[in-house]
């Protein structure tokens, strides 16, 4: 695992800031639509799979989409 400099924010810090910005700007924020789409896709997959429920799929899909947006 690569070490970060103390000045560089962690992935968790970046994610928190992104979610805060999405909450403030709403649909005007560039990450809102991809994260909502990821959540919707996850919910559909969760509803289809017998092991996972749709709320778990929703959360997982949104988390993956957010991670993809923040990691760029």
* pLDDT tens figures, 21-62: 999 999 999 999 999 999 999 999 999 988 889 999 999 999
Give the pLDDT confidence score for residue 2 in this predicted structure: 58
Give the pLDDT confidence score for residue 4 in this predicted structure: 56
Does residue 71 or residue 41 have the better pLDDT? 41
Q: Which long-range contacts (CB under 8 A, 24 or more apart) does 13-20 make?
A: 14/70, 15/66, 15/67, 15/70, 18/66, 18/69, 18/70, 19/66
Give CA–CA dist 18/11, Å, rounded: 10
Give the pLDDT confidence score for residue 5 in this predicted structure: 61
Q: Where are the domains of the chain?
A: 31-72
Give CA–CA dist 72/53, Å, rounded: 29
Q: Comparing C-alpha atoms, which of 42, 69, 35 is closest to residue 56? A: 42
Give the pLDDT confidence score for residue 33 in this predicted structure: 95
Give CA–CA dist 15/52, Å, rounded: 25
């Amino acid at each position: 695992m690569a070490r970060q400099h103390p000045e560089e924010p962690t992935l968790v810090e970046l994610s928190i800031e992104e979610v805060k910005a999405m909450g403030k700007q709403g649909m005007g924020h560039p990450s809102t639509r991809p994260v909502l789409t990821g959540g919707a896709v996850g919910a559909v997959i969760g509803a289809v799979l017998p092991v996972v429920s749709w709320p778990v799929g929703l959360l997982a899909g949104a988390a993956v989409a957010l991670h993809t947006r923040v990691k760029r």
